[in-house]
Structure 1
Amino acid sequence: MSAVDTVDLDALAAWLRTQGVEGRIGEVTPLAGGTQNVVLRIELDGRPVVLRRPPEHPRPTSDRTIAREITVLRGLAGTDVPHPRLIAGCEDTSVLGVVFYLMELIDGVNPGEEVTPEQRADAELRHGQGLAMARALSRLGALDPTAQGLDVLRKPGSFLEKQVPQWLRHLEGYREFPDWEPGGLPDVELVARWLEEQRPPDAPPGVMHGDFHLNNVLLARTEPEVAAIVDWEMCTVGDPLLDLGWLMVTWPQEPTAMDVGGPLAQLGGLPTRKELVAAYADAGGREPVHVDWYTALAGFKLGIVLEGTWARASAGKAPQEIGQRLHDHAVGLLTLAGRVARGEWSVLD
């Protein structure tokens, strides 16, 4: 079945009318579709919109994930955080069999996939777009989750206090794969101990993207602006400075541990991490304090997450090549976190 065939267009049109969204559905083309989510470009009275739904064979959590995205996009409406505008969201699975939503189609470019001629020719534009990412992230972290109806995403207890124990348990869970070597990641115990000893006090809860990096934004084609932050499935309410740490460990400059940013990163001309932190501060959101600690936590957490694919690959449950590549990233992330913990490297150097 093709991605287009996963949506009953007559049922979709009928439901849209009940939501006050009138228009004839025209051409439908896939933007993405597979094991993650199905994303379709739909002509609605000649206006392009995007439909997002779980894959043809949904995972047990697929509907909850899409419902979370609906909640987030509703909450972001009217804010100065760049995001795709939600047109309509449906959590009634009797309509299409799954949760789904429609959003506006953003005119922007994913830097992990392509660059515009203007970006290729102008290092100053690329530099400005990097700074714009930091400013957009600062505006996100400044939102009041309760006022935006997003406090429903918050879990009880201290967000920071839970992080290290939670991710150590996650790593320990990989032992279910008998051929996985638990000693394959460097400095786990060192970093865990340092993070616990240096943990900053809890800050007021804020909205987090959860996976903020160059591949999860759409940049304006010719201006130093972010057209939209995308892929909100990991969004939660916690400590937004972890998003800033995430940007630090995924930023495509030495010392680098990730292959993020694609052709834009390869062109160079992007701001330094220190410049990103300054732009975050200048945007008027949260004060970017303890940035090295949040960077180490981000490397610790992301490294453990990526190691999961290597653990599954070791048991023949994921492609070996992908598992090896992500394991190499995980090693790089934990190595970077270890350097921070030892005082050998700082974001602000």
Structure 2
Amino acid sequence: MTEGIDDQKVHEWLIANVQDLQGPFTYERVAGGRSNLTFVATDAVGRKLIVRRPPLSHVIEKAHDMAREYRVIAALGSTPVPVPIARGLCLDRAVTGADFYVMDFVDGFVPHTEAEAASIDDRRGLSRNVIDVLGDLHDVEPRQVGLGDLGRGTDYVGRQLHRWQQAWELMKQRDLPAMDEVHRRLSAIVPPQQRIVIAHGDYRLGNMMVDADRITGLLDWELCTLGDPLADLGYLINNWADEGEHAEWSSAPTAIGGFAARTEMLDWYGDRTGLDLDDISYYRSFAYWRMGCIVEGVYARFLQGAYGTDHGENVSSFAEAVVRMSEAALEHAPTP
């Protein structure tokens, strides 16, 4: 039995709910996930699907809502945003101990590291496509795709500051004064929100399936809600290292060179959307701080065994990453 998958019961569910499959299935857990668990299910004739489920324990319902994530992917299937085809949602926890959903496997590769970066000829085109896809996502009218009630939308950053500070207090494994100071500064003056958009929440190359210079699948929608477009942009820019630069917590494949510079990415997005980017440093601080809260929760769940025994991770690296993120957040935070 694959840890996290009841092979026989999931087999029966797949045969009953997804067309044109032939059992038996093999299941392989995809490395790199830090929250929900992802598996590749391969049937007897080689057809591949993706199965997503929450962690094995210490699940926070709102943070690991499979129905919500499935709903977003299914809704965006009719838009220019490249998402895998949604195939089915299982809310019967008797099948494998948790809700799960199934979507198509998308060909391509995920550029997690410099070694996995796109070829030199494709990097600049991919850079532009990253901005174009973000613009396409932010252009989607939520009500037109049935997502008008996905979130409140207004005062996104203010609400996120409140939510993640609560999560920080609940999940933190030690005191980090920089995290508290950044929260104080960000809360003191929140820039006016210019638009309400579908915000991905984790928009970076490590959550994109890529083929040559195009994104073939935008993945990991668990943080998606209605919110502030500049929160997505600030987060992307934090993960978009210039050539030779070190990113604070990601492997930053763009540091290898050949990709567009961070300033170009900002210019392209500004031209594409017409939004005022004068406060982008604030949003970068917010993105570092929020990710520090999220990674502290991941660290806590590793310590509690929520990811099972075969994760192969250096758990202490997560604690160290939170310290670096808090310092980067403080560097970009507005002065008191």
Alignment TM-score, normalising by the size of structure 1: 0.77
User: What is the 5 A alignment of 1:188-267?
Assistant: 188=182, 191-192=185-186, 196-197=188-189, 199-220=190-211, 222=212, 224-253=213-242, 256-261=246-251, 264-267=253-256
Output the aligned Cα RMSD: 3.5
> Hey, what's the Cα distance between the residues in 2 that align with 1:95 and 1:308?
27
Query: CA 1:150–1:44 in structure 2 vs 1: closer, same or farther (change >3 Å)?
Result: farther
Cα deviations by residue, 1:52-83 (Å, 9 ceiling, x for unpaired): 23345572528952212111111111111111
Identity among equivalent pairs (%)? 23
Determine which of 108, 133, 136 is the counterpart of 2:133: 136
**Distance apart, 1:317 and its partner CA:** 5.8
The structure having more radius of gyration, on CA atoms, is: 1
| Counterpart secondary structure, 2:221 | coil
Which residue does the alignment assign to 2:158? 161
Query: CA 1:156–1:126 in structure 2 vs 1: closer, same or farther (change >3 Å)?
Result: closer
**Distance apart, 1:126 and its partner CA:** 1.4
**Distance apart, 1:239 and its partner CA:** 1.2
**Distance apart, 1:84 and its partner CA:** 1.2
2:21/2:43 contact within 8 Å kept: no
Which residue does the alignment assign to 2:79? 79
**Distance apart, 1:111 and its partner CA:** 0.7
Determine which of 124, 127, 134 is the counterpart of 2:124: 127
**Distance apart, 1:44 and its partner CA:** 6.8
| Structure 1 range deviating more: 146-155 or 252-261 | 252-261
| Counterpart secondary structure, 2:202 | coil
Which residue does the alignment assign to 1:25? 23
| Structure 1 range deviating more: 291-300 or 101-110 | 291-300
> What amino acid sits opposite 2:250 in the alignment?
V
> Hey, what's the Cα distance between the residues in 1 that align with 2:62 and 2:261?
37
| Counterpart secondary structure, 2:27 | strand
Which residue does the alignment assign to 1:327? 322
Cα deviations by residue, 1:280-312 (Å, 9 ceiling, x for unpaired): 234x446253333322322232234335567x5
**Distance apart, 1:268 and its partner CA:** 1.8
> Hey, what's the Cα distance between the residues in 1 that align with 2:58 and 2:267?
42
> Hey, what's the Cα distance between the residues in 1 that align with 2:44 and 2:79?
26
> What amino acid sits opposite 1:132 in the alignment?
N
Cα deviations by residue, 1:87-131 (Å, 9 ceiling, x for unpaired): 2223343555432222111111111157569x34x2x42122122
> What amino acid sits opposite 1:11 in the alignment?
E
> Hey, what's the Cα distance between the residues in 1 that align with 2:153 and 2:200?
18
5+ residue gaps, structure 1, are 344-349
User: What is the 5 A alignment of 1:1-349?
Assistant: 1-3=1-3, 5-7=5-7, 8-16=9-17, 21-32=19-30, 36-43=36-43, 46-57=46-57, 59-61=59-61, 65-113=65-113, 119-120=118-119, 122=120, 124-155=121-152, 158-173=155-170, 177=173, 180-185=174-179, 187-188=181-182, 191-192=185-186, 196-197=188-189, 199-220=190-211, 222=212, 224-253=213-242, 256-261=246-251, 264-282=253-271, 284-285=272-273, 287-289=275-277, 290-308=279-297, 312=300, 321-338=316-333, 341-342=334-335
Query: CA 1:6–1:296 in structure 2 vs 1: closer, same or farther (change >3 Å)?
Result: same
> Hey, what's the Cα distance between the residues in 1 that align with 2:177 and 2:138?
35
Cα deviations by residue, 1:196-227 (Å, 9 ceiling, x for unpaired): 33x3323342101111112111111x3x2111
> What amino acid sits opposite 2:103 in the alignment?
M
